[in-house]
Structure 1
Amino acid sequence: MAAAETAGLAPVMAFALVGALGVGSQWLAWRLRMPSIVLMLLAGLLFGPVLGILDPAGQFGDMLGPMIAIAVAIILFEGGLTLNFHTLRDAATGVKRLVVLGAPLGWFASALTLHYVAGLSWAASAVFGGIMIVTGPTVIAPLLRQAKLQKRPAALLQWEAIVNDPVGALAAVLAFQVVIVLETASSAGAAAQDLTIGISVATLLGIAGGWGIARAFRLAYVPEYMKVPVLFVVLLSVFALSDSVLHESGLLAVTIMGIWVANARLPSYTELRRFKEHATVLLVSGVFILLAASMSWTALGSLDVTALLFVLAVILIARPLPVLAALSFSDVPWRERLLVAFTGPRGVVLVAVAGLFGERLVEIGIADADRIAPLAFALVAATVVLHGFTLTPMARLLGLTASSTTGVIILGGSRWSVALAEALQKMGLQVIIADPNHAHLRGARDAGIDTFFGDILSKAAEERINLVAFEKLICATDNDAYNTLVATDLAPEFGRDNVFQVKRVREASSRHALPATLGGRVIGGGKTYFEANALISQGWEFRVTGLSEEFTLDQWREKHPEAIIIAELGKGGTLRLLETGMDPKKTEDVELLSLMPAKPKRRES
């Protein structure tokens, strides 16, 4: 209570501040297009050791440890949910090598670096080295979207991060179990017995929890509205039961449970994925703020030259060598090997798990384990900032960028779509037209536009279209229901503000009106598919016009009163598709893409 009074915040207010700082940092990072973890680090340190407003140990007391432990358990369960063995079997050889060979080699190299460079004991090095396998899928995704890498190197980095997320946590959990049993057991025999029992119970509970959830959901024993609450309660129960048998074995149990559920092929997996995404945003930000605010000036002061050498050794040796060794004698080109080897940003999971295990190791007598959290913060901050600024230029230097401009996917191969794609290409943008009808793509192929024949929602589309290289989606087929389905399904992938569709034919009818949660934003001046293509048949065309101080938007409107504005392109190549009725944000130094009647041909004298 005294600590809380000193800090000046009641526990409830402190809890609210943690949430506001975490989510606020992630939102601000999205607005500024920078890694959220950097802002969360700064926010936690500012309100914690710098200003002294947040004192997690004093304000939450004995509940701080269980709060972080449960949050980490849910984060690891989310990591397990991403590990689908079917997807892994379909992955490229390079991805399998990075997981099967790269992860153990990375663990070994990280442990050696921690021991010989950072000076940690073998116990602390083994546990922290396992955590360092994780490269952070929440950090990799925005970096890949920003860099616009080619499909294969992007897939290598993305899938390595996704798969190694639970693998690294699992390695750390196993190493921690070995250390804690060896430190607390009275003999080697007792240590082996306790470890065997703990891991066996954790494995059985994880499998039982996953199997029970899958069976209950598949046989409709649980109604839809209760599936997420039931999943959450079972997750906490599995964690608590396993933890009561062997300390921290609950983390292993929930990771296994997540892997089981991910491979159960449940029809409700979409709802479970949404739960894990929402839970991850909240818990990851909360845990990171709490851990950053808990840092003391003593811990921060330990980040000396040794810590700098450790970070450099990880970036230049412990990360590249295992990756290059794992990818050697494979079909992965050497340029892609270099890019993957020198790209390994760590994320929030590493800090969260490292902070938790560091405290637990200190409690059982591993004194130098108190340096794990500061080293984790240093490694995450350095790698995120470094790769955030170097990934794009390195990819360009190696010739591995798919495109340096905004990409647009157009669904439907009509004359309107082809004309729009040609105009976008003239503006220097990357465009691809997809259509499930092969005959509809003839015009696009004749115009030299990239095409995809098939369903945009199919697995074949995921394999052939590098979605990371595209930021906008325009659904413009002659099937309004299909346009709405695709726009709704891919909205989380692109962002709802970047998904558009032509106006539905029966949109004005109350019998056919859809809620705002379905479909994309209307583009094309409120014209339906048939009306838009009729304009093209009547001779309308897409034109690009530059606006400036001498030729303003008002002057352009006076000259072209019938024109329909489709998009605006800023100086930096930033494309903004305009919903029907919207005006450009800027009226100078932009290029307008519009649909207007064709210029009348001059008569020959």
Structure 2
Amino acid sequence: MATSELAGIDPVLGFALVGALGVGSQWLAWRMRMPAIVLMLLAGLIVGPVLGFLDPSRDFGDIMSPIIAIAVAIILFEGGLTLNFHSLSDASTGVRRLVVIGAPLGWLLSGLTLHYVAGLSWQTSAVFGGILIVTGPTVIAPLLRQARLRRRPAALLQWEAIVNDPVGALAAVLAFEVIMVLQTQAEAGAAVWEMIIGIVAASVMGVAAGYGVARAFRLAWVPEYMKVPVLFVVVLGVFAISDAVLHESGLLAVTLMGLWIANADLPSFTEIRRFKEHATVLLVSGVFILLAADMSRETLLAMNWRTLGFVVVLMLVARPVSVMASLAFSDVPWRERILVAFTGPRGVVLVAVAGLFGERLAAIGIEDGAQVSSLAFALVAASVVLHGFTLSPMARWLGLNAADRPGVLIVGGSRWSVALAKALQKMELPVIIADPNHSHLRSAREAGIETFFGDILSEVAEDRLDLVRYEQIVAATDNDAYNTLVATDLGPEYGRDNVYQLRRAKEQSTRHALPVTLGGRPFGPDDTYNKANARIIEGCEFRVTKLTEEFTLEKWRETHPDGTVLADLGTGNGALRFLGPKDEPRSGVGVRLLSITPARPERKDS
């Protein structure tokens, strides 16, 4: 038996290791408030080329490439599912320019950089330059989640990344077909005809599959429990058939399929999308670990000053020039242009497609095609690390982050809601009160509190509000059923630990009891709507107190024996933490407490 085979690990153990490293890196990044992509990259490099414990090409053999291809297809399909035209709104002009003008210009500048800086031949530069149009939805999504950008710049980056992925792959296909004609003396007409047929077939299959799935789901031809499995099978079928017609056209087909379904207004779309998001988290982390671990030490050591120069010029010159030129004379503000210009992370799609075309170029006699994989990995690693640590600070510097601290969305206008919102404003947190009843918002408007008139679950709210500014929700309307609906619907998106509601009036009744899967966490003293507002009428008030070395938590408790601490806010940029019945507030210096206490006697008399 060969030495490499002796050194290999069992494939099942290898897949388990990849899953544990991927999910573990994401969890650790969440705990440490670090970019998850950076930790996944480091984890893959450590178990791969550094320690030599995992070698995907050795351990998984011929199934390695199909696994990555299928994962990329599902990731792009899920990306297409996020592209609802309602979310585009005022970013449509910028996205159109980034695709129509920015992609060809980026192809040209990338090709020039590859030839003159990296030293590649014109053939390889043309193919790899097309692939570099791709900006990586697998990286953009985690970065946007971390940076909490405003809606329009986030939409620009997200749409560009997902739409340009198949565009970049097809640009590489086009360049490769031209090179094949020149290298092998094949007929140009046949190559062009094959290209046209492939693109048309991929587009037709993607749209037809999206239309067919949407129609089948709407007419109940597929039972609810089979919708996700059917969707997966159709995605894989469309991708495989399209790729058989023309290599890499499957990416276009699955993206168009996802885009069609996203705009079909399906009743079950939310559940489908959430499941796909969970699958994509696993796939993104797994593919990143695989690609990083698959790099050899020789490839890493072969990187030289040309590699560094290529990465620097592409990220700091080629990308900014193409973006600024494509957005010139548009309605996109200059701050957003700068952010988009200097934010172009690359991800798994780039490495996967680059590796494929590098092998094909080398197979037809273009020797420097073998360098494509190492250059692609160097660019991905550099862009992931750079943007992972700089996107949030740059967004704050340009004033494009939703908020320095995530705030609170209060659903329901009342005296109690206004009093709570005023206290949160004293803590310098973004706060908004939403209510479908205009008269319920009168006191909030008079108090200078931001309001939203309408249903918070409507598409209008999703389009008009920067919901990323808010991390926690308090459902506090006078309708207990609506509070439960809001908490249940928004729970998966915001995290069930961040969604609260006032206690239902009939909650203690066995006949009206609800399962724990419905509704949000109890808020504060666990008051009902009527009791909470009665407290305010009787003179109770929300109060913000900052702890010091002299005025400690124990001192506060002595001073306010009848008070209840509802939340605490740590120093720095920490988020507000609402406290449950068994939670203890933090007691460090600088911590601010949000409490509800009986009014002071002198205030009652005034």
Structure 2 residue 537 is matched with structure 1 residue 537: yes
On the 8 A contact 1:76/1:169 being kept in 2, the answer is no
1:452 and 2:452 equivalent?
Answer: yes
Q: How does 1:161-560 map to 2 (within 5 A)?
A: 161-172=161-172, 175=175, 186-548=186-548, 550-560=550-560
CA distance in 2: counterparts of 1:524 and 1:458, whole angstroms: 27
Q: What amino acid does structure 2 have at the position aligned with 1:595?
A: I
Q: Greater CA deviation, 572-581 or 279-288?
A: 572-581
Give me the whole-angstrom Cα distance separating, in 2, the residues matched to 1:470 and 1:464.
Answer: 14
Contact 1:181 1:195 in 2 (8 A): no
CA contact (8 A) 1:79 1:166 kept: no
Deviation at 1:234, TM superposition (A): 2.0
Residues 22 and 367 (structure 1 numbering): CA distance in 2 closer, same or farther, change over 3 Å?
farther
Q: Distance in 1 between matches of 2:603 and 2:229?
A: 71
Change (3 A) 1:204 1:29: same
Matched position secondary structure for 2:76: helix
The 1-side partners of 2:179 and 2:281 are apart by 31
Q: Deviations over 1:151-192 (max 9, x none)?
A: 543443344334444544554455556666776783323323
The 2-side partners of 1:239 and 1:141 are apart by 22
Question: 2:87 touches 2:463 (CA, 8 Å); kept in 1?
Answer: no
- Which residue identity is paired with 1:216? A
* In the alignment, structure 1 residue 19 sits paired with structure 2 residue 19: yes
> What is the Cα deviation at residue 585 of structure 1?
5.2
- 1:552/1:587 contact within 8 Å kept: yes
Summarize the Cα distance change of 1:199–1:403 in structure 2 as closer, same or farther, 3 Å threshold: closer
Seq. identity, %: 70
**What is the identity, as a one-letter code, of the residue corresponding to 1:335?**
R
Shifted more, 126-135 versus 307-316: the winner is 126-135
Secondary structure, aligned partner of 1:574: coil
Residue number in structure 1 paired with 2:46: 46
Which residue of structure 2 lines up, in the alignment, with residue 79 of structure 1? Answer: 79
SS of residue paired to 1:581: coil
1:560–1:434 Cα change, 3 Å = same
Q: SS of the counterpart of 1:568?
A: strand
Match of 1:100 in 2: 100
**TM-score (structure 2 length as normaliser):** 0.91
Q: Structure 2: state its 5+ residue gaps.
A: none
- Where structure 1 has 5 or more consecutive residues not aligned to the other structure, the ranges are none
Aligned-residue offset at 1:397? 3.8
- Per-residue CA shift, 1:508-528, capped at 9, x if unaligned? 233333333322222121111
1:316-343 CA distance string (max 9 Å, x none): 2111111111211122232332232222
Distance 1:603 1:321 in 2: 64
Check the 8 A contact 2:411/2:475 in 1, yes or no: yes
**Whole-angstrom CA distance in 2 between matches of 1:224 and 1:365:** 52
Structure 1 residues 173 and 34, CA gap change in structure 2 (3 angstroms): farther
Deviations 1:488-530 (A, max 9, x none): 2223332322222222222223333333332222212111111
Segment of structure 1 superposing worse, 144-153 or 65-74:
144-153
Which deviates more from structure 2 when the two are superposed, residues 586-595 or residues 148-157? 148-157
CA distance in 1, matches of 2:152, 2:404: 17
Separation in 1, partners of 2:251, 2:97: 26
Q: Give the AA of the match of 2:369.
A: A
Distance (Å, rounded) in 2 between the aligned partners of 1:296 and 1:401:
39
How far apart are 1:144 and its partner, in Å? Answer: 4.4
Structure-1-length-normalised TM-score: 0.91
* Alpha-carbon separation, structure 2, partners of 1:451 and 1:471: 17
Q: Is 576-585 or 534-543 further displaced after alignment? A: 576-585
Question: CA separation in 1, counterparts of 2:181 and 2:84?
Answer: 31
Change (3 A) 1:66 1:508: same
1:20–1:181 distance in 2 versus 1, CA, 3 Å: farther
Structure 2 Cα separation of the partners of residues 89 and 413 of structure 1: 28
- Aligned residue for 1:592? 593
Against the structure 1 CA distance between its residues 107 and 506, is the aligned structure 2 distance closer, same or farther, given a 3 Å change threshold? farther
**Residues of 2 paired with 1:580 and 1:115: CA distance?**
61
Q: For 1:346 and 1:432, how far apart are their aligned partners in 2? A: 36
Cα displacement string for residues 19-47 of structure 1 (whole angstroms, at most 9, x for unaligned residues)? 11112112212222222111111111111
Equivalences for residues 32-71 of structure 1 within 5 A: 32-71=32-71
Alignment RMSD: 2.8
How far did residue 130 of structure 1 move?
3.4
Shift of the 405–210 alpha-carbon distance from structure 1 to 2, 3 Å rule, reads: closer
Judge which range, 354-363 or 314-323, deviates more.
Answer: 354-363
Query: C-alpha separation between the residues in 2 aligned to 1:493 and 1:411?
Result: 16
Letter aligned with residue 598 of structure 2:
P
Separation of aligned partners in 2, 1:263 and 1:116: 43
Question: Would you say how many aligned residue pairs link Structure 1 and Structure 2?
Answer: 604
Map of 2:117 onto structure 1: 117
- Relative distance call for 1:457 and 1:184 in structure 2 (3 A) is farther
> In 1, are the aligned partners of 2:134 and 2:161 still within 8 Å (CA)?
yes
Q: In structure 2, give the amino acid aligned to 1:257.
A: M
Contact 1:291 1:355 in 2 (8 A): no
Deviations 1:462-481 (A, max 9, x none): 33321222222222111222
One-letter amino acid of the counterpart of residue 292, structure 2: A
- Compute the displacement of 1:580 (Å): 3.1
Which moves more between the two structures, 166-175 or 190-199? 166-175
SS where residue 319 of structure 1 aligns? helix
1:540-562 per-residue CA deviation (whole Å, 9 max, x = no partner) reads 00112233454443443344333
Distance 1:59 1:329, change over 3 A: same
3-state SS in 2 of match to 1:445 = helix
Measure how far apart 1:247 and its partner are. 4.1
Moved more, 361-370 or 507-516: 361-370
